[in-house]
Structure 1
Amino acid sequence: MAGVRWTYAAADAPTLDGFDLHVRPGETVVLCGPSGCGKSTALRLLNGLVPHLHNGRLDGTTRVAGLRTDEATLDLLGRHTGTVLQHPRRQFFTDSVEAELAFALENFGEPPARLRERVAEVIDEHGLAPYLDRRLPELSGGQQQRVACAAATVHRPPVLLLDEPTANLSEAAADHLTDTVRRLRAAGATVVIAEHRLHRLHRVADRVILLRDGRVDAEWTGAEFAALGDDALRAMGLRGIEPPARPAPDPVPAHGPSVDHRDGDGGRGAGSLPGAGEGLALRGVRCAFRGRRVLDIAEAYLPAGAITAVTGPNGAGKSTLARVVTGLRRHEGEVLLAGRRLNRARRLRESAIVMQDVQRQLFTDSVEAELWLGAAADAPIGPRARALLADLGLESLAARHPLSLSGGQQQRLVVAAARLSGRRVVVFDEPSSGVDHRHLRSITRVMRDLADAGAVVLLISHDADLLALAADHELRLRPPPAG
């Protein structure tokens, strides 16, 4: 990429401005930097989505495997690149794991026998056998991410592009992804990764490149980056690379097949918690997909006035619990708020949620209008909204169309809307994907403000940095036994 300047059609300023990047064959490069600095746009230029599918003005030249990406067709670029988007469900074309893995090879005309052989190899390499009897929409966000990574490599592209690949992954799944990148690198693939969570991926990077204001601000070898230290990284607005030290939050009172209790607590968690009687109680809550149990909680109490982290491996039922609590999912059992049983319709009115893929929650034509749409009717939001937008780094974007924002900016916009909603129950499902160090703290402040106002706040996350900052209590889930 040489002298690249790209401005989206809906934007007033370029996202990339004088951007130069050269990645050598077989090199692994990690792009980092504050939200909105142009990392995802750089990947879209490399795979041709910019300018073929995004409107705007492009200057400069981008070449991949000798092809000019603005001139080559997308199908030709697709043979040379594999891409994993920040939200993988946007790139699925089928509804089953095997069909998704076969999709690219079918389009490239691979002979059926070789296609079946290659799909079987990828299933084994990526550990996808447990998912083969499942439809893609039934998989958790982290499980979908694993399938997307496998599908991106099935045709053995020489260039692999990963956009926030660890955003929704558990510790074990993120370790598996790192091993996959290491294996691809050893096989000679060129890998470019846009990522905020650097504590794993910097170990497999040949270079780490910092973007700021649409151009390269600094770059290091992997070893030089590791030697910088967390204080220096945070001064640049980056996440640290050392795992955060934090005491384990107190477990909430809970038991049932889906509850992963700590040794010695009898499966019931902690005793009396602040706000007892005002929080959210679950009784006999069970959910199933096509006869397979995905959530089974006999009893749990989630306190008001505190932030309860909901943790556990991918597929443990965390997002299913979020949909139950907010009235978006049918289930057995009952949900009570402050001792009063709430049906699903009432829960929809009493709760707000920040989903993993927040683009599905953006409905208006400006950032400001998005805040007004869901704001509490009895609370003027003008001054509060301006202060909130400033804290979340969105103040200068109030007139922008929400879909023209970066992924991290969209995430923070929906967080802001949840803060102004006035709801008694607020769920944050992986709210820190696409979020740098500065905005990690601003999102934490939003959750703390909601808890201090008496709301029941649930935080579903694998992000150790966010959990260390925010979690007061913890509900750890595990996949319920089969049957």
Structure 2
Amino acid sequence: MIGIENVTWTYPHAEEASLHGLDLTVAPGEFVVLCGASGSGKSTALRLMNGLIPHTHDDGALTGTVAVDGLDTAVAELDAIGLVTGTVLQHPRRQFFTDTAEEEIAFAMENFGFPPDLIRSRVAEALDRLAGAVPLETRLRDLSGGQQQQVAIAAATAHRPRVLVLDEPSSNLSADAVERLASTLGELKAQGVTIVVAEHRLRYLEDLADRIVVMAGGRIDVEWTAAQFRSVSDADLAREGLRGRVHTADLPGLPAIGASVNASTDVDGVPDGALELAGIRCRLGGRVVLDIKCARIPAGSVTAIRGVNGAGKSTLARIVTGLQRSRGTIRLDGKKLGRLARQRASAIVMQDVQRQLFTDTVAAEIALAAIDAPNPPDIDMVLVGLDLDHLAERHPLSLSGGQQQRLVVAGVRVSGHRIVVFDEPSSGVDRRHLASISDQIHQVAATGAVVLLISHDEDLLALAADQQLVLTPPDRQESLVAGIETAEQEAAR
């Protein structure tokens, strides 16, 4: 089904090749997981399979051959390759062309000229599967990252491709969404779809994968069958830079009350330097997406913001940093902060960090971030700590996803802001760099900043967080309360 023979690829303007003599064969119906350290070539290998290389990088240097379902991807038309392949990117919003889930699922089939009746039936089928997890009436841009990804999978598979490639599909997903992802991939595998997944989180795939391929330096370093992988020790995984058993974070709860708070508790007193939230309420797409009556977020420590996809975590981040309008009041050190004041006082690492890269070198990106910092740390030491020092003269957009993630973390580290939000900072990050990111988060908190860490990554939370605020969708919480009240009333009768 997929044949990659002796492929070497160098991106335009890159000094070194990203792939070196890569050989990989994937049989029809096989489920293969590509893994390895950040920058090892996983995402580049996927771009060979869906034709993005060389078609969208026609001034790069490619040697060797790539065939997918009998098509030579270097000479076949991109739409012909797209008809037999489906792709899900790490950040799904980059691949959306429309405003709603219904339109997005229909989009590819319309472009391929499918009959209208067939399009309608497949769209209806896909929407039925999504209905329980995604608010279908909400515009795609207002969905959470996990909800966007579920729509992206539905859109990528509606035209029934024979090959599906996914790049870090679990990176921004809650535990329940990962279960749905695994279930969806299992169904596609049972239908005979050939699946290739580039991932750092491996355990949810161990009952699905037929083969695990570990990449290093643009080459295949080692391969395991599914049976072999199950017996690989954590020490062996660590030597390959791979994540092992998930370490569940058991964190104390932050006192808070409100419809969005999973377990409301009394809020007493205001710690020195705390960020106070009072009466925060936000509506998007005609529904309430965040409702926090009262919360106190302490300075000098790391507060994890947790909850299912769509619980309002990223909305809270945007409100705190002044990027989203809402009702309510926010105070820092007892002083009320309007939106502009919060923007000046805040820094954020977004889920899609490419939106935060502005300069032409890694060094310039860090210098820009530190330009107004009152007491910036040693920039060279920050680069060393995040394993970016050897990339100082590289263009940020030429880096891998994990390297870009660490670059934006480095920028936030040197910025000196009082309020710092890390929104899924470990997506695309391998085992070794997970520890370095955790260390930088702790160092930001040590400056006395209020630090919010939004993440589904249990490994990162166990390393970095001190306490947690668990959010739940306000409508779900209100339904739960209503159900409890109804049950109590019935019992009273």
TM-score by length of 1: 0.95
1:162 to 157, 162, 166: 166
Give the corresponding residue for 2:486: none
- The number of aligned residues is 473
- How many angstroms apart in 2 are the aligned matches of 1:34 and 1:269? 44
Give the corresponding residue for 1:12: 15
Residue 190 of structure 1 deviates from its aligned partner by 0.2
Q: Does 1:187 align with 2:194?
A: no
Give the corresponding residue for 2:352: 357
The one-letter code of the counterpart of 1:268 is T
Cα separation, partners in 2 of 1:289 and 1:399, compared to 1, 3 Å:
same
1:353 touches 1:427 (CA, 8 Å); kept in 2? Answer: yes
The one-letter code of the counterpart of 1:231 is A
2:36 to 25, 33, 51: 33
Give the corresponding residue for 1:205: 209
Q: Does 1:461 align with 2:455?
A: yes
Give the corresponding residue for 1:66: 70
Give the corresponding residue for 1:268: 265
CA-based RMSD of the aligned residues comes to 1.5
Residue 122 of structure 1 deviates from its aligned partner by 1.7
Residue 129 of structure 1 deviates from its aligned partner by 7.3
1:257 touches 1:296 (CA, 8 Å); kept in 2? Answer: yes
1:401 to 395, 398, 402: 395
Q: Does 1:311 align with 2:306?
A: yes
The one-letter code of the counterpart of 1:374 is A
1:271-420 alignment runs, 5 A limit: 276-377=271-372, 384-420=378-414
Give the corresponding residue for 1:218: 222
- How many angstroms apart in 2 are the aligned matches of 1:280 and 1:198? 37
- How many angstroms apart in 2 are the aligned matches of 1:74 and 1:425? 45
Task: Please say which of residues 4-13 and 28-37 is displaced more in the overlay.
Answer: 4-13
Give the corresponding residue for 1:53: 56
Residue 235 of structure 1 deviates from its aligned partner by 2.3
1:442 to 413, 436, 442: 436
1:354-401 CA distance string (max 9 Å, x none): 0000000001111111111121535575x8211111121211111111
Q: Does 1:2 align with 2:5?
A: yes
Residue 123 of structure 1 deviates from its aligned partner by 2.0
The one-letter code of the counterpart of 1:85 is L
- How many angstroms apart in 1 are the aligned matches of 2:374 and 2:242? 35
1:175-197 CA distance string (max 9 Å, x none): 11101111111111100000001
Gaps of 5+ in 1: 262-266
1:234 to 238, 251, 255: 238
- How many angstroms apart in 2 are the aligned matches of 1:215 and 1:292? 48
1:476 to 467, 470, 475: 470
Give the corresponding residue for 1:148: 152
- SS of the equivalent of 1:35 reads coil
- How many angstroms apart in 2 are the aligned matches of 1:162 and 1:292? 31
Give the corresponding residue for 2:422: 428
Residue 269 of structure 1 deviates from its aligned partner by 6.1
2:267 touches 2:295 (CA, 8 Å); kept in 1? Answer: no
- How many angstroms apart in 1 are the aligned matches of 2:134 and 2:36? 36
1:418-444 CA distance string (max 9 Å, x none): 000000111000001100000000000
1:252 touches 1:269 (CA, 8 Å); kept in 2? Answer: no
- How many angstroms apart in 1 are the aligned matches of 2:213 and 2:415? 38
Gaps of 5+ in 2: 479-493
1:137 to 120, 124, 141: 141
The one-letter code of the counterpart of 2:265 is R
- How many angstroms apart in 2 are the aligned matches of 1:300 and 1:379? 29
Residue 470 of structure 1 deviates from its aligned partner by 1.0
- How many angstroms apart in 2 are the aligned matches of 1:271 and 1:40? 48
The one-letter code of the counterpart of 1:386 is D
Cα separation, partners in 2 of 1:130 and 1:34, compared to 1, 3 Å:
closer
The one-letter code of the counterpart of 1:21 is L
The one-letter code of the counterpart of 2:178 is A
Give the corresponding residue for 2:485: none
- SS of the equivalent of 2:463 reads helix
1:391-417 CA distance string (max 9 Å, x none): 212111111111111111111000000
Give the corresponding residue for 2:257: 255
Residue 291 of structure 1 deviates from its aligned partner by 2.7
Give the corresponding residue for 1:107: 111
- How many angstroms apart in 2 are the aligned matches of 1:128 and 1:102? 20
1:60-113 CA distance string (max 9 Å, x none): 111100111111111000001000001100000000000000001111111111
- How many angstroms apart in 2 are the aligned matches of 1:31 and 1:378? 40
Task: Please say which of residues 139-148 and 228-237 is displaced more in the overlay.
Answer: 228-237
TM-score by length of 2: 0.93
- How many angstroms apart in 2 are the aligned matches of 1:393 and 1:71? 38
2:257 touches 2:267 (CA, 8 Å); kept in 1? Answer: no
Task: Please say which of residues 124-133 and 455-464 is displaced more in the overlay.
Answer: 124-133
1:201-232 CA distance string (max 9 Å, x none): 12210000000000000000112111112222
1:284-307 CA distance string (max 9 Å, x none): 011001331000000001110100
The one-letter code of the counterpart of 2:45 is A
Cα separation, partners in 2 of 1:94 and 1:245, compared to 1, 3 Å:
closer
Give the corresponding residue for 1:264: none
2:357 touches 2:365 (CA, 8 Å); kept in 1? Answer: yes
- How many angstroms apart in 1 are the aligned matches of 2:139 and 2:49? 30
